[in-house]
Structure 1
Amino acid sequence: MTTSDADFLSGLALSRILYEEAVQPILAETYPGLPHAAALVGAGSEVLGFDTPRSTDHDWGPRLLLFLTPQDATVHGTRIHRVLAEQLPKQIRGRPTHFRQINDRVGHMQPTDGPVNHRVLTLDAGSWLTGHLGVDPTSAEPTVRDWLAIPQQHLAEVTGGEVFHDGLGTLTTVRERLSWYPDQVWRYLLACQWQRISQEEAFVGRCADVGDALGSAVVAGRLVRDLMRLCLLLERRYAPYSKWLGSTFRQLPVAETLTPLLQGALAATQYRQRAKLLCDAYEAVATLHIETGLTAPLATACRSYHGRPYRVLFAERFAAASAKTVTDPHLRSLPRIGSVDQWADNTDFLGSQELRRAVVEAVP
C-alpha cells in the first residue's frame, strides 16, 4: 500500500494523532493517572523527518513508543498491549493500525476485523535506551568510552523524532543530555575527522599522476563523504547513515555553498576540474572551522603538495590545532581514530553493541 504525495501525512504527524486521539483516551479510561511518556523515537525514516509516500510500502504506519516506569512496565505492560489491541480504532487517518508480519523483517499494513496487531510498544526508558545505545543514560552521564562506542545514527534516532507527552520527565532529560557531544569529546572527534581528510587529500592527485582516473575518482568520493561529515560535526548535527547523509547535509547553511562544489568534484571526469572543486571545498570548510573559534586561526588556502603538481589544504594542521584544545587526559592519550563510525561503516558491526564496546575498550 502506497500513498500519493497529495494524500501523504508524515509518520510523526500520524503518530501524534494515534496518541492524542486513540491511545491517550484509552489509557485515561483504563489506567487513569498512569505516569507515562509517549514518543516516536528510534529507527525509521519518519523519526529523522525523511519519510515520503515511498516509505509507506513497509514498516511504516501509525506507531508509538509508550514509556512507563520499570515497575509499571512489568506489571501492566502486557495488559495495556492487549487492551490497545482490542480497543484501538482499525484506522488512523485512513492508515490501518493492524500490521501483518509477512517475514522476519517486513510488516505490511492491512485492515482487520479482529484485534489489531498494533505497534504501540510498552516499555521502560532505561531498558529501551540500553538496548538502543548500549548504555543507560537515565541514571548517569555517559562516559567518554560510552560516547565513542555509540554511532551517530543511534544518537540521532534517540534525539530526533518527537515526544508527544512526558509525564515521567525521564525521556526529556535524556534527550537533552544526549543532544550533543560533551565539549571535549566534540573537539577530539573534530581532530579525528580532520585527520581522516589529511591522510587522503593528496591521493586524488597521485592517482591521476599514474593514469588511474578511477582511483582518483574513488578517493574523491571518500573525501566528499568525509567533508560532509566534518561539516555536520562543525554544525553540531549527528550524521546519519549513508541513506540520509545527503538529506541531512542539505539542511546545513553551508550546504548552499558546498553542494555545487562537492557534486562537481564527483561528476568531474578530468583531474584538474576535480582538484579545483575539491580545493574550493576544502577552503570553504576550513573557513567554517575557523569561524567556530574552536582553535587559533589557520591559513585556509590550498597550496602545492611538496612541490608536486597538485594542491592540498594540509588538513593535518587543523587536526593538530583541534587536538591541542583537548584537555581531557583520557582523550589526549587516545590515537586520532575517533568514534566507532569514524573508522568503521560496516552495518553489522555498527549494529552490534558487543562488538562496538569490545573494540572501544581494546583501545589503550
Structure 2
Amino acid sequence: MNGLELARYYYETAGKQALERQVPDLVPRLAIGLAGEGSECFGLDDELSRDHDWGPAFCIWMTEEDFVKHGVQVQAVYRGLPDAVAGFSVRKSGIISSGRVGCLCIEDWYRRYTGYAHGPETLAQWRQIPESFLATATNGEIFADPLGVFMSIRQKLLAYYPEDIRIKKIVARAATMAQAGQYNYPRCVRRGDTVAAQLAMAEFANATMSMVYLLNRRYAPYYKWIHRGMKNLERLPRVAVQLEKLSRGEGEAQEMIEGICLNVSAELRRQQLTTREDTFLIDLCADMMQRIQDPKLRQTHIMQE
C-alpha cells in the first residue's frame, strides 16, 4: 500500500471505531482524510520515501469553534490509536512533520497554505499564493466530511484559478520558456558558457512544467515532484517524456526545446488563448494578454507572475 491507501486503512480499521466510541457526538462534525505536505499526499511516495516522516497517519479537521472546545480531547483519541498497522509503525510528529496529521483546525490549515481561513477571494489574493501551496492544499483524499465545511473550501480551490490569473501565468511562463530556452540557451552554448547554459535549461524546464500544469488546470506541486506528477496529466503528455530525454542529454538539445515549444503553442491555440501560428513563444504573449479581462492585470509586465 502507498501512503494514501495506508492512511485510509488506518482510519477505517482503527480510527473510525475509536472516534465513534470515545467522541460519538463529535463524529458528525469531523472531516477525515490525508492531505497536505509529503509525497504520500500526492500519491507519489515509494520505498525511498519511507526513511523519514512516513507511516500510517491521517488528519482530523475541525472548525475553529469545535477545535477550541474539543481539540485536546480528539487529539487524545488520535494519540491512543495503535502504534502500528499492516506491518508499518505509525508516523510520529517531529519538528518537520508537526501539524501535518492528527487533530487540526480547518481555518488554520487553509490559512497555512493560502494565507486565508476560507481561501482567496480576490484576484490580488490569488496572485499572492505560491502555486505549490495550492497544490498542497488540494492534494490527497478526504474520507469523510459530514459537516461539509472543509470540502466547501477545498472545492473552491479545486475549481482552479480565476481565468484571468491562469492566462497571466501562462503568458509569464511562455515568456520565460522563450527567453531561457529558445533564446538564451543557444547563445550560452555558442559562448561556451556551460554553467549559464545549464541555468538557462533549468529555467526553461521549470517554466515548461508549470505551463503544462496550467494548461491542464492543475496546480504544480513542489519542485521535486513536479515532473513525476506530469505523468498523470491529460494534456501534453509527450512533454514530460521530452523533458526527461532532454535532461539525459538524448538528442540535440535545441531541436528538443523547439519541439516542446511547438507542442505548447499548438495547445495554446487549441484552448483559444491565441490565434497566432508562431512557435517562438514570446511572439504569442501580447495576443494572449488581450484575453485578460481585468484592466490592471492586463497592464502588468508579461513576465510578472
Q: Secondary structure at the match of 1:231?
A: helix
Aligned residues: 301
Q: Which amino acid is 1:186 matched to?
A: R
1:57 equivalent in alignment to 2:23: no
Give TM-score, length-normalised by structure 1. 0.76
**Alignment match of 2:89 (pick from 68, 89, 96):** 96
Give the Å deviation of 1:156: 0.9
1:70 is matched with 64
Q: Secondary structure at the match of 2:41?
A: coil
Change (3 A) 1:106 1:175: closer
1:195 equivalent in alignment to 2:175: yes
1:135 is matched with 116
Contact 2:55 2:91 in 1 (8 A): no
**Alignment match of 2:226 (pick from 245, 248, 259):** 245
Q: Which amino acid is 1:32 matched to?
A: P
Alignment of 1:4-153 (within 5 A): 9-34=1-26, 35-86=29-80, 88-97=81-90, 99=92, 101=94, 104-105=95-96, 120-137=101-118, 141-153=120-132
More strand by share: 1
Q: Secondary structure at the match of 1:123?
A: strand
Change (3 A) 1:246 1:269: closer
Q: Distance in 2 between matches of 1:322 and 1:126?
A: 36
Q: Secondary structure at the match of 1:318?
A: helix
Give the Å deviation of 1:268: 4.2
Which runs of 5 or more residues in structure 1 are unaligned?
1-8, 108-117, 302-312, 340-364
Give TM-score, length-normalised by structure 2. 0.89
1:332 is matched with 298
Q: Distance in 2 between matches of 1:32 and 1:263?
A: 51
Contact 1:63 1:119 in 2 (8 A): no
**What RMSD, in angstroms, separates the aligned Cα atoms of the two structures?**
2.4
Give the Å deviation of 1:100: 7.3
More helix by share: 2
Contact 2:31 2:145 in 1 (8 A): yes
Contact 1:166 1:172 in 2 (8 A): yes
Between the aligned residues of both structures, percent identity stands at 27
1:111 is matched with none
Which runs of 5 or more residues in structure 2 are unaligned?
none
Please say which structure displays the higher CA radius of gyration: 1
Change (3 A) 1:274 1:38: same
1:206 equivalent in alignment to 2:165: no
Q: Secondary structure at the match of 2:38?
A: coil
Change (3 A) 1:260 1:47: closer
Q: Distance in 1 between matches of 2:203 and 2:253?
A: 13
Contact 2:32 2:60 in 1 (8 A): yes
Contact 1:261 1:281 in 2 (8 A): yes
**Alignment match of 2:256 (pick from 263, 266, 277):** 277
Q: Distance in 1 between matches of 2:200 and 2:13?
A: 52
Change (3 A) 1:202 1:251: same
Change (3 A) 1:269 1:49: closer
2:200 is matched with 219
Which string of whole-angstrom CA distances, capped at 9 and with x for unpartnered residues, describes residues 76-99 of structure 1? Answer: 11122223333x123221222362
